[in-house]
Structure 1
């Protein structure tokens, strides 16, 4: 009698027990990581050597002297110099559930026991099917999105989104996007990205038309953005394929906008048959709902949506109208089996009290923002300004917001045990991608480190 060996492996009680024992042992070791710890004398030199070697072989130094040992617990991560940092950037947003979460590790180990580690679009296993089904069902609850195509990263997901819109609306080629947008680092996504520093020496294709983003200081901000969009369409009638936008600017400064800002822009694009592409590579799972288009209640407008980071793989979701012809999007890789397995586990976990107006994500946001605002009003008066963002994406402007002072603050904050990154150009802001599993006590530790670092000056 024939049997499905793969199913037998997945269902084996002995293998399940071995995985539980392994994850449990790792958990016991990681339990030693209890909070922020300074570099240890016995590991400083070897840690620095490893950091230097990483920079040597890639041709440029690391942004921070960060080299993880492979150990961590929740929001804390252990580095090779013996230090433990409070990780509030999470690999620029990959580690939604922090470090060494037992459920995530269990899912990844389970995936790693499959016959292949990397799945392909032509020869997928069940994880590919299950991930695609899960993400489509989540997206279609409040949108017309019907299909998903898995890719290896956010940039590739965005490339596929642009190809879908251009094929459907051919021969239209122009892209409308917001000023200060970020879309990725491929040649075309660097063009869509509005940051000259990210495309030095690259050719200019002049195919992207900029629209100003929301400015909360200007009551006519929405009107101005719509007028600029109308001017672009009048000049390039019939030659604009897509309006691609981040529901909240990411690299551009963690600037959020209300629903009322987006609706006139989206209505106008619909009236002109311009595709609407929501780039949720960074906002996916972070705004209090699975998708920011749910948080903003604009799902009915979305033709194409891209995700990555917390999903552990990239994916392009699209409606029936934008289902591409065979051959347009493909590629060998569609993500590793452990990544697909872990990504699905984290999506399941989010449904357990993290989402909604009163869910844990919004609780974290309020506590963190309120804490920064208190600092700006008391001990750090005037030097922790404009705290904001959406959900787990939080930022504020340190000191005068100039690049030099913001970077000095962030480097000192790293030395004081908290990892954050810059975003925006004028001003430059300190940004945090907070893990969903952070406890209130850990937020308080982060706020104390922020206060200490601000008071140290630049």
Structure 2
């Protein structure tokens, strides 16, 4: 018998046929999920008991009464109460190809047949190697990024980016970031995040400096941001290790900015030997290219880039200059074999007509934004303002943009069959992380539900 049994398993026609048979059967069952459907009476009590139990054991209720059955089809997902929702938040951005995509399921099953379910940085399998290679090849096309380190999530990818920048630029330790930024849930990433509600009771380390993000209503927005950056550098000369930024604010309100806003800031950072870190945990694969720094043509400035969510795992990409010394970044876990396999499959799928100026992602963006604008100009005049975003990341301001009224709107929208989520403050906005596989007819379903919900008022 060959010593390379693992390769025999992967290449086995019998194994592959069984995988396709299994996926085909699940796909056939999922085909029953057609369109939005309300809760079914016979399942309501059992669903409530499961939701109550979940809230009890985790110490607080779920944000929405959402408990999936494990079945879904494209943008639609079935819940334990028998309802079918149009899922436009996708686990806050994880399910790029929606629910139960046959190719993604098949890739995940192949990964799950490996000898280990969880791979590590000490003992990886080939999926680890292939995923790292794919990320580097994609990123290096339009940047100097040369290496990638896999982590379990976006927060850990961001922690690694900060560690790399501080080691390279030691003893500098300060971070410059945008106001309203979000970076993750660890203690340090909560510090980088500009939202007091996410760090109640946590100590302040006073290691993060803020500059204002782009304001499309202010023609001097770029000048003000650059001026604030220069003031921080003058005050903390030699003690700023990195400028970390989201190419488009995520939790901060889905606010986008043009290339012209970023370039002077990035050029000044480079002139002061401050590392430039692009936090693409949410924007990765969503802006019409693999990376938002490609969409904005900023790759030449990037020293560090972090990704997660659609990749199914986290990763930190970095240039040769920021390659760390042994021991700085490690960790037992890197990613599960099914996640690595499914993530690679989705990256391959994106190359099949989704990317580029005329790709499906930009088509989806235009149709959704145009639809929201038509609502604001027509039946919902004044109720759906400031629609915007990038690619599959879309948001608008419902009603007056106050927290209470937006939360009421989103809860009613959930009841009407569409899942969205809030972002930003002053105003609070309704955001959508649209799956790349959504069809135009499904967008129309979403817009009708949004219209209905807006007209119901708050």
| TM-score (structure 1 length as normaliser) | 1.00
1:204 alignment partner in structure 2: 204
Q: What CA distance in whole angstroms lies between the structure 2 residues aligned with 1:63 and 1:356? A: 35
Q: What CA distance in whole angstroms lies between the structure 1 residues aligned with 2:72 and 2:201? A: 39
2:374 corresponds to 1:371: no
- Corresponding residue SS for 1:397: strand
Q: What CA distance in whole angstroms lies between the structure 2 residues aligned with 1:132 and 1:51? A: 38
1:411 alignment partner in structure 2: 411
Query: 1:302-381, aligned counterparts within 5 Å?
Result: 302-381=302-381
Distance apart, 1:306 and its partner CA: 0.1
Distance apart, 1:12 and its partner CA: 0.5
Distance apart, 1:2 and its partner CA: 3.7
Q: What CA distance in whole angstroms lies between the structure 2 residues aligned with 1:226 and 1:121? A: 39
2:97 alignment partner in structure 1: 97
Query: 1:36-435, aligned counterparts within 5 Å?
Result: 36-435=36-435
Q: What CA distance in whole angstroms lies between the structure 2 residues aligned with 1:182 and 1:251? A: 6
- Corresponding residue SS for 2:334: strand
For 1:37-68, what per-residue CA distance to the aligned partner results, in whole angstroms no more than 9, with x for missing partners? 00000001101111111111000100000000
Distance apart, 1:3 and its partner CA: 2.8
- Corresponding residue SS for 2:105: helix
Q: What CA distance in whole angstroms lies between the structure 2 residues aligned with 1:40 and 1:415? A: 13
- Corresponding residue SS for 1:338: helix
2:448 corresponds to 1:437: no
For 1:66-119, what per-residue CA distance to the aligned partner results, in whole angstroms no more than 9, with x for missing partners? 000000000000000000000000000000000000000000000000000000
Q: What CA distance in whole angstroms lies between the structure 2 residues aligned with 1:356 and 1:40? A: 42
Q: What CA distance in whole angstroms lies between the structure 2 residues aligned with 1:364 and 1:29? A: 27
1:22 alignment partner in structure 2: 22
- Corresponding residue SS for 1:70: strand
Distance apart, 1:337 and its partner CA: 0.1
- Corresponding residue SS for 1:333: coil
Q: What CA distance in whole angstroms lies between the structure 2 residues aligned with 1:302 and 1:224? A: 22
Note the aligned Cα RMSD (angstroms).
0.4
For 1:178-232, what per-residue CA distance to the aligned partner results, in whole angstroms no more than 9, with x for missing partners? 0000000100000000000000000000000000000000000000000000000
Q: What CA distance in whole angstroms lies between the structure 2 residues aligned with 1:324 and 1:237? A: 24
Q: What CA distance in whole angstroms lies between the structure 2 residues aligned with 1:327 and 1:15? A: 39
- Corresponding residue SS for 2:324: coil
Q: What CA distance in whole angstroms lies between the structure 2 residues aligned with 1:49 and 1:15? A: 39
Distance apart, 1:419 and its partner CA: 0.0
Q: What CA distance in whole angstroms lies between the structure 2 residues aligned with 1:51 and 1:396? A: 30
Q: What CA distance in whole angstroms lies between the structure 2 residues aligned with 1:130 and 1:185? A: 28
Q: What CA distance in whole angstroms lies between the structure 1 residues aligned with 2:46 and 2:288? A: 41
Distance apart, 1:397 and its partner CA: 0.1
- Corresponding residue SS for 1:100: coil
1:3 alignment partner in structure 2: 3
Q: What CA distance in whole angstroms lies between the structure 1 residues aligned with 2:2 and 2:412? A: 63
Unaligned runs of 5+ in 2: none
Q: What CA distance in whole angstroms lies between the structure 2 residues aligned with 1:48 and 1:423? A: 27
Q: What CA distance in whole angstroms lies between the structure 2 residues aligned with 1:188 and 1:367? A: 39
For 1:258-314, what per-residue CA distance to the aligned partner results, in whole angstroms no more than 9, with x for missing partners? 000000000000100000000000000000000000000000000000000000000
